[in-house]
Structure 1
Amino acid sequence: MKEFFYRPNNAWVGDVIPYFEDNEFKLFYLHGWRENYQEGLDRGWHLIGTNDFCNYREYGACKILGGTGHVLKVENTYHLFYCIFPEGKQLVCHATGTDLMNWTTIPEDTFSADNQIYEFSDWRDPFVFWNEEEGQYWMLLAAMAKGPSNRKGCVALLTSKDLKKWAYREPLYSPNIHVGAHECPDLFRIGEWWYLVYSNYTDRFATFYRMSRSLNGPWITPKVDTFDGRAFYAAKSVSDGQKRYLFGWNPTKNDDLFGWNPPKHPGKDYDTWDWGGNLVVHEIIQRPDGTLAVKVPDSVNAAFSVEQPFNVEGITGTWTSPDLDVLACESPYAFAGSLGLDDLPDRCRVSLEICFSEQTQGTGVMLRAGAGLDDAYYVTMEPQRNRVTFRGPIMQSEDGGKTFPYEVELERPIELQPDHYHELLIFIDGSICEIYINGDTAMSARMYDIERGKLGLFVSQGNAQFKRVKVETV
């Protein structure tokens, strides 16, 4: 069965370069062949198209061998900027075309960092747009600024009148936060706010954003400055003129690079994260204060509409049904759990609303749970810490406690108000797990080691109500 979250046959989706034209999202992406298990640039650019993020048309390879970049159209000509890595160098390249599949490279337009404002070491992922205020093109790049500290990651800035000759300017954003370059920069405006998006793999591994009322800054860091967690990366955005969407990848796990997966453990859940995986699309929404959030695209949500039977039995604790579509449990001093009678489908949406008391330590769902309740993937709302977490089965065991120097695998900050219902949407497609809370918080994950199991509900040291619990398929 072809995966719902797009991945090409026998390969994986790397960085996505989105473009919108003719009522279709044209998604260029770095195509990774599955057999080489590396980031080698032999993968090249491929193109797919979609108008619903559920069905994809494969256009094929685009004759561009290189790394992430940008596509824009000027009059009747398309311009494609990308990066190459000959003999360890990093260079920006330019190609043109009259359609989106056939490109003519312009070797004389290739250029490197200047080694005065920017280091030679990092010079990639160009993003180009017309700056109306200045009357010239701006190019943003993932780069390293010159400086005494190793925290030199920045978004470089260059300007041009003709898309051929570029002038080096001081970085658009250089906060001396990250040791690594600010990858896959993206820039857009909604209303009176400009938003700068970039990804980084040092200190914190995520796609970040900053906001400003001016392209000249200052660039403000919002309280929650990421769109998703560790399992969503290299995201770039595009608008269809009405809504803006963010395109990233949920990485696979095929190697245990650092030996963290316990030797006796046969599975893949605790292998290291790979480069590339499956395409994941979030819809960007702007809050009244200008900060950004993401939600599941309406078309993806609507695709799961065939309701499956869901009957539940209590395993521990006392479970009641005060209303027709409500399950409740009061367990202020202990863990209480219940299980559905049937295994979850391999591809499905789990939806429900959860309300909890003020002193509740944790509540949520178990995915692919077994009868003992430890062999499961836990999605937990933790009101005392204002976060939602994801834990796999090994974290419930002694092996997990001995192996990992951290408490949880994945977490997202979120304000969790007691005595209010919180919406939880979980999309499962094989090993992929996409979690949305309250329509403004996303957390991507992977589930490899347990392939079958039931949906469970739980509350730990508190009281909770679970309303309108549904399992639906495509």
Structure 2
Amino acid sequence: MKPFFYRPKNAWVGDVIPYYEDGEFKLFYLHGWRGNAREGLPHGWHLIGTNDFREYREYGAIDIHGGTGHVLKVGDIYHLFYCIFPEGKQLVCHATGADLMNWTPIPEDTFSADDQIYELSDWRDPFVFWNQEEGQYWMLLAAMAKGPSSRKGCVALLTSQDLRKWAYRQPLYAPNLHVGAHECPDMFRLGDWWYLIYSNYTDRFGTFYRMSRSLDGPWITPKVDTFDGRAFYAAKSVSDGQNRYLFGWNPTKNENLFGWNPPKYAGKDYHTWDWGGNLIVHEIFQRPDGTLAVKVPDAVNQAFTVEQPLHLHAITGEWTNTVSDEYECDSPYAFAASLSAEELPDRCKLSADIRFSEHTQGIGVMLRAGIGLDAAYYVTLEPQRKRMTFRGPIMQSEEGGKTFPYEVELERPIELQPEHEYKVIIFIDGSICEVYFNGEVAMSARMYDIERGKFSLFVSQGSACFKHVRLETQRHED
């Protein structure tokens, strides 16, 4: 069964370069073969197309061998900018084409950092757009600014009249926050606001955004400045003229790079996050105050419409079930959980509307749970800490408690108020877990070591009501 969240056969999705044309999202991406590479296999940039984020047309490899970049069309000519890494250098390259599959590199347009404003070490991931206000093209780059501190990561700025000769300018955004370059920069405008997106892997790991009323700044950091957590990276966006979508990847966990996975633990859940994985698409929308949020794209949400039986019974605590899809529990001083009679399908959608009382410590769901409730993946809303967390089974064991160095594996900041109703939607596709909270917060995760199990609702030291609890799968023909 091919994955619902796209991944090429025997390979992985790296950074996505999205382009929209003729009713289809044309998604260039870095094709990662890893250990499956063999001589003669196409590598570098590949192209897929979709109009619903459910089915993908594979156009195949294009003759571009390099890192992340950007595609735009000027008149009848397509322009592709990308980066290469010869002998440890980082260079920006330019190619043109009459269509999206056939490209002619222009070697004389290749250039590096200037070594005056920017360090030569980092010079990649070009993003190009027409600045109407200035009447010239702007190029943004992942770079390192000159300076005494190691925190030199920045978004570099260059300008051009012809897309061939570029003038170096002072960084667009250089906040001295990150030791690493601001990767995969992206920019767009919604209403009165400009938005700058970039990804970073030092200090904090994720895809961030900044907002400004002007391209000249200042670039404001919103209260929640990320779109997703640790398991979503290198995201870039594109609009179809009505909605804007964010394309990133959910990394796999195939290596135990630093040996943090406990020696006695045979699974993969606590391996290192890899580069590349499966394609994940979030829909971006703008709140009234100008800040951004993400939700599941409608087409993805509507792919799961076949309701499956789901019967839960109490394991600990007192649970009431007066309506078929509604469960209540009052457990102010203890942990209480109910468990489904049915095992979860390998691919499914789970959803519930959750309301809790004041002073409740935790509410949530367990995925692939066993009878003892210790072997499970926990998605927890924590009102006192204003966050949503993801924890795997090792956290419930004594060995894990001694060995695992963190309290939680993944978390997202959220606002939680007692007696308010919040919707949680969870998509499972093999090892992939995608959680959406209240139509505005996303949390990506991976679940490797427990492949089968049941569904559980739980309350920790409080009271909660779970309404419209549903398990849904795709139609058979999907």
TM-score by length of 1: 0.98
What does residue 269 of structure 1 align with?
269
What does residue 255 of structure 1 align with?
255
Whether 2:288 is the aligned partner of 1:304: answer no
Whether 2:436 is the aligned partner of 1:436: answer yes
Q: CA deviation at 1:34?
A: 3.7
Query: What do the CA deviations read for 1:118-149 (whole angstroms, capped 9, x no partner)?
Result: 00000000000000000000000000000000
Query: Could you tell me how far apart the structure 2 residues matched to 1:325 and 1:264 are?
Result: 41
What does residue 72 of structure 1 align with?
72
Would the aligned equivalents of 1:294 and 1:442 in 2 still touch at CA under 8 Å? yes
Q: AA paired with 2:223?
A: K
Query: What do the CA deviations read for 1:374-417 (whole angstroms, capped 9, x no partner)?
Result: 10000000000110000000011112212222100000000011
What does residue 161 of structure 2 align with?
161
What does residue 88 of structure 1 align with?
88
Query: Could you tell me how far apart the structure 1 residues matched to 2:433 and 2:190 are?
Result: 30
Would the aligned equivalents of 2:310 and 2:341 in 1 still touch at CA under 8 Å? yes
Query: Could you tell me how far apart the structure 2 residues matched to 1:194 and 1:404 are?
Result: 41
Question: Secondary structure in 1 aligned to 2:301?
Answer: helix
Query: Could you tell me how far apart the structure 2 residues matched to 1:43 and 1:83 are?
Result: 15
Query: What do the CA deviations read for 1:299-320 (whole angstroms, capped 9, x no partner)?
Result: 0000000110000110000101
Q: CA deviation at 1:212?
A: 0.1
Q: AA paired with 1:62?
A: I
Whether 2:464 is the aligned partner of 1:464: answer yes
Query: Could you tell me how far apart the structure 1 residues matched to 2:107 and 2:406 are?
Result: 49
Query: Could you tell me how far apart the structure 1 residues matched to 2:136 and 2:285 are?
Result: 29
What does residue 358 of structure 1 align with?
358
What does residue 403 of structure 1 align with?
403
Q: CA deviation at 1:324?
A: 4.3
What does residue 205 of structure 2 align with?
205
Note the 1:134-283 alignment, pairs <5 A.
Answer: 134-283=134-283
Would the aligned equivalents of 2:10 and 2:36 in 1 still touch at CA under 8 Å? no
Would the aligned equivalents of 2:256 and 2:272 in 1 still touch at CA under 8 Å? yes
Query: Could you tell me how far apart the structure 2 residues matched to 1:201 and 1:34 are?
Result: 20
What does residue 15 of structure 2 align with?
15
Would the aligned equivalents of 2:344 and 2:452 in 1 still touch at CA under 8 Å? yes
Q: CA deviation at 1:42?
A: 7.8
Would the aligned equivalents of 1:42 and 1:65 in 2 still touch at CA under 8 Å? no
Q: AA paired with 2:58?
A: E
Q: AA paired with 2:250?
A: N
What does residue 35 of structure 2 align with?
35
Question: Secondary structure in 2 aligned to 1:35?
Answer: helix
Query: Could you tell me how far apart the structure 2 residues matched to 1:208 and 1:36 are?
Result: 32
Query: What do the CA deviations read for 1:258-309 (whole angstroms, capped 9, x no partner)?
Result: 1111111111000000000000000001000000000000000000001100
Q: Give unpaired runs (5+ residues) of structure 1.
A: none
Query: Could you tell me how far apart the structure 2 residues matched to 1:139 and 1:286 are?
Result: 25
Would the aligned equivalents of 2:11 and 2:36 in 1 still touch at CA under 8 Å? no
What does residue 132 of structure 1 align with?
132
Query: Could you tell me how far apart the structure 2 residues matched to 1:321 and 1:6 are?
Result: 38
- Percent of pairs with identical residues: 80
What does residue 50 of structure 1 align with?
50
Whether 2:114 is the aligned partner of 1:98: answer no
Query: Could you tell me how far apart the structure 2 residues matched to 1:401 and 1:104 are?
Result: 56
Question: Secondary structure in 1 aligned to 2:100?
Answer: coil
TM-score by length of 2: 0.98
Query: Could you tell me how far apart the structure 1 residues matched to 2:362 and 2:261 are?
Result: 27
Whether 2:109 is the aligned partner of 1:109: answer yes
> What's the C-alpha RMSD, in Å, of the aligned pairs?
1.2
What does residue 121 of structure 2 align with?
121
Q: CA deviation at 1:323?
A: 3.7
Q: CA deviation at 1:36?
A: 5.4
Query: Could you tell me how far apart the structure 1 residues matched to 2:263 and 2:341 are?
Result: 33
Query: What do the CA deviations read for 1:191-211 (whole angstroms, capped 9, x no partner)?
Result: 000000000000000000000
Would the aligned equivalents of 1:245 and 1:283 in 2 still touch at CA under 8 Å? yes
Whether 2:289 is the aligned partner of 1:289: answer yes
Query: Could you tell me how far apart the structure 2 residues matched to 1:334 and 1:259 are?
Result: 36
Would the aligned equivalents of 2:283 and 2:296 in 1 still touch at CA under 8 Å? yes
Would the aligned equivalents of 1:91 and 1:111 in 2 still touch at CA under 8 Å? yes
Would the aligned equivalents of 1:186 and 1:196 in 2 still touch at CA under 8 Å? yes
Query: Could you tell me how far apart the structure 2 residues matched to 1:397 and 1:76 are?
Result: 61
Q: Give unpaired runs (5+ residues) of structure 2.
A: none
Q: AA paired with 1:252?
A: T
What does residue 337 of structure 2 align with?
337
Question: Secondary structure in 1 aligned to 2:302?
Answer: helix
Q: AA paired with 1:295?
A: K
Q: AA paired with 2:370?
A: G
What does residue 3 of structure 2 align with?
3
Query: Could you tell me how far apart the structure 2 residues matched to 1:307 and 1:34 are?
Result: 38
Question: Secondary structure in 2 aligned to 1:384?
Answer: helix
Residue-pair matches, total: 472
